[in-house]
Amino acid sequence: SPVECFKHWVQHCPDKVYLRQPEGDQWHTLSWKQANEQVCAMAASLARFPEGSRIAIYSLNCAHWILADLAILMAGHISVPIYPTANQKTVSQIMDHSGSCAIFIGKLPVATQLPVFNEKVECFSFFSPRENTLYWDEMVAESIKQGLRCPEVEVNEQDLLTLVYTSGTTGQPKGVMLPYRAIFKAIECVGGVIKLTEDEKYFSYLPLAHIAERMVVEMNSLYHGGEISFVESLDTFAKNLTDTEPTIFFGVPRIWVKLMQGVQKRLGGRWLSNVLLNTPILGGALKKKIIQGMGFGKLKYAISAAAAISPEVIHWFKNLGVDIYEVYGLSETSGISNMNSPDGIKIGSVGRAIPESDIRLSEDGEVLIRSPNVMDGYYNAPDLTDIAIQDGWFRTGDLGVIDEEGYLSITGRAKEIFKSAKGKYISPTPIEAHLQPALAVEQLIVTGAELPQPVAIAVIIDETIWQDRKTAQKKLQKIVQEVNVRLEPHERLSHLLIVKREWDIERGLMTPTLKLRRQQIEDLYKLDIKNLHKNKPIVWIEEN
């Protein structure tokens, strides 16, 4: 179990640094031994709840997040992570649905008004004391003062370890039940594909409530050893990253795109940067300087997951000397089922199935997974569980193809396919894969239900493009024409809508894991889409 692994490192290397928390120019560190003292004291305090209680964690990533998770497990309870960006309604829904008896509250992205919890729910605060909450440091001190004993809890592989509520691009969050077996098997099988040591350095910035971040950072560090450094804020991301020099870095596609575009901007734009990087007399030294400047000088494994990443981005980083391994998984599969690795990488695919996982396609092309790291089901939702798991196979809802070498490529989501006014069924993902790198934009969707032809909506925030729309219009129209040539007639785009305002989590247009919420975005521009027949092929939208 994670707790057994934690105790191993406490005994094996007690004085080695485990957690690094930035604060201004300082890094506060906790060794395995120091972390254990806090975890044991908190676990002793939590032992007053009946074994198997659900306890939530609602905070940005920090050392206390890991400590709280370990204390919950050590006390024999079930942890319920909640995204720090979740609003009052979502937090209340998760607390009520999970039946959580307590919640740890840490630093949040904005000054959030907390929901009014049931009077039976106890609230604990990581940092400065909040009204009607118990303060972490005081709880730990009181536990030690009273001499409370750390509980000795035995768990078996079928016991529930955590309830992971999916962020969901549609509908209400569902509680994914992951037992100890699923977490252990996922980590064990990945460990058979990439070789991790106790000297790895992890950098934690994506929400730990997301199963992929939790597995890559927390669970890998517990099972294999290593050191976790956290990010203080978005403003300090670059500095914290370069200070850490991680050996493993996990990023969703949007992060990799931002890193790439940041370099291109500093080198004078996309075209000039490519020329400089591919000039033999300059390229080698420049690439090394860029990698060092990013904080990737010691990087061994660069991972991308949670959404499709453009092959162009992977090729760009490969040219720089960084191999990005695209991985595939869902909350329901403990975050992993397929992965590219140093032993086998095929750009454009999400890799082969990890050991002990079977992957096949249904008659409709849906990806089906049978694996020991698949969830037990959805909490208190047997009907949904019966739909999701049939004859031992988990239905992912993703569409894909598997080549003769066993590499899986995801071609879209079944629920994203739309029917045009001409009666043709269209998957937006392949069209987006052509258009996004051609436009060099971060955010883009293709839609077109009940329209004669699909249309694309793209976010362009570059002020210089908006100031010279006439020139930009010709270039954009040419790009769309070039992309259309590569598409089937029924897939060809009739219009491109250019919007100025970025799609974000705050407006409900992205999930906490930075996936686009298609339906909400389509709803936002439904009037613009409705009036497209009155417009030229390129439409500029400054509002919304």
Using one digit for the tens of pLDDT, what is the confidence trace for 407-424?
A: 999 988 888 888 888 888
Distance CA 499, CA 1 (A): 48
Residue 152, in any domain of the structure: yes
Q: Looking at the structure, do residues 429 and 509 belong to the same domain, yes or no? A: yes
Domain termination residue (choose one: 366, 388, 416): 416
pLDDT given for residue 129 in this prediction: 67
Residue 279 binned pLDDT confidence (cut-offs 50, 70, 90) = confident
Average pLDDT, the chain: 90
pLDDT given for residue 283 in this prediction: 67
Domain termination residue (choose one: 179, 203, 231): 179
Q: Looking at the structure, do residues 425 and 519 belong to the same domain, yes or no? A: yes
Residue 170 binned pLDDT confidence (cut-offs 50, 70, 90) = low
Q: Which domain holds residue 496?
A: 417-541
Residue 167 clears pLDDT 70, i.e. is over it: no
- Highest mean pLDDT out of 206-215, 305-314, 513-522: 206-215
Q: Which residue's entry shows tokens 């975005």?
A: 521
pLDDT given for residue 100 in this prediction: 96
pLDDT given for residue 234 in this prediction: 86
Retrieve residue 173's tokens: 């969050």
- Residues 6+ away with beta carbon under 8 Å from 179: 157, 158, 159, 160, 161, 376
Domain termination residue (choose one: 416, 439, 468): 416
pLDDT given for residue 281 in this prediction: 66
Burial class (CB in 10 A: 0-12, 13-18, 19+), 197: exposed
Question: Percent of the chain, pLDDT > 90?
Answer: 61
Residue 157 binned pLDDT confidence (cut-offs 50, 70, 90) = very high
Question: What is the mean predicted confidence (pLDDT) over 478-494?
Answer: 92
Residue 464 clears pLDDT 90, i.e. is over it: no
Residue 19, in any domain of the structure: yes
**Model confidence pLDDT, tens digit, residues 324-379:** 999 999 999 999 999 999 988 999 999 999 999 999 999 989 999 999 999 999 99
Query: How many domains does the chain divide into?
Result: 3
Q: Looking at the structure, do residues 449 and 524 belong to the same domain, yes or no? A: yes
Q: Please give the distance of CA 185 from its chain centroid, rounded to a whole number.
A: 20
Retrieve residue 12's tokens: 């094996």
Question: Percent of the chain, pLDDT > 70?
Answer: 97
Q: Looking at the structure, do residues 33 and 142 belong to the same domain, yes or no? A: yes
DSSP secondary structure string for all residues of 250-318: EE-HHHHHHHHHHHHHHTTSHHHHHHHHT-HHHHHHHHHHHHHHHT-TT--EEEE-SS---HHHHHHHH
Residue 113, in any domain of the structure: yes
**Model confidence pLDDT, tens digit, residues 171-193:** 577 999 999 999 999 999 888 88
Q: Looking at the structure, do residues 484 and 507 belong to the same domain, yes or no? A: yes
**pTM for this entry:** 0.85
Residue 466, in any domain of the structure: yes
Residue 471 to residues 466, 475, 478, Cα–Cα distance (Å): 10, 7, 11
Distance CA 204, CA 248 (A): 10
The CA-based dihedral angle spanning residues 241, 247, 251, 254, taken in that order and rounded to the nearest 10 degrees: 60
Residue 329, in any domain of the structure: no
Distance CA 180, CA 160 (A): 6
Residue 312, in any domain of the structure: no
Q: Looking at the structure, do residues 411 and 421 belong to the same domain, yes or no? A: no
Q: Looking at the structure, do residues 379 and 509 belong to the same domain, yes or no? A: no
Query: What CATH number is associated with residue 369?
Result: 2.30.38.10
Residue 215, in any domain of the structure: no
Q: Looking at the structure, do residues 494 and 405 belong to the same domain, yes or no? A: no
pLDDT given for residue 531 in this prediction: 85
Distance CA 74, CA 69 (A): 9
Residue 146, in any domain of the structure: yes
Q: Looking at the structure, do residues 406 and 509 belong to the same domain, yes or no? A: no
Query: What CATH number is associated with residue 482?
Result: 3.30.300.30
Of residues 274 and 74, the one with the higher pLDDT is 74
Residue 282 clears pLDDT 70, i.e. is over it: no
**Model confidence pLDDT, tens digit, residues 119-131:** 889 999 998 766 7
**Model confidence pLDDT, tens digit, residues 8-48:** 999 999 999 999 999 988 999 999 999 999 999 999 999 99
Q: Looking at the structure, do residues 517 and 397 belong to the same domain, yes or no? A: no
Q: Looking at the structure, do residues 140 and 18 belong to the same domain, yes or no? A: yes
pLDDT given for residue 544 in this prediction: 62
Residue 114 clears pLDDT 90, i.e. is over it: no
Residue 312 binned pLDDT confidence (cut-offs 50, 70, 90) = confident
Q: Looking at the structure, do residues 410 and 432 belong to the same domain, yes or no? A: no
Retrieve residue 445's tokens: 């969707």
Question: What is the mean predicted confidence (pLDDT) over 197-211?
Answer: 95
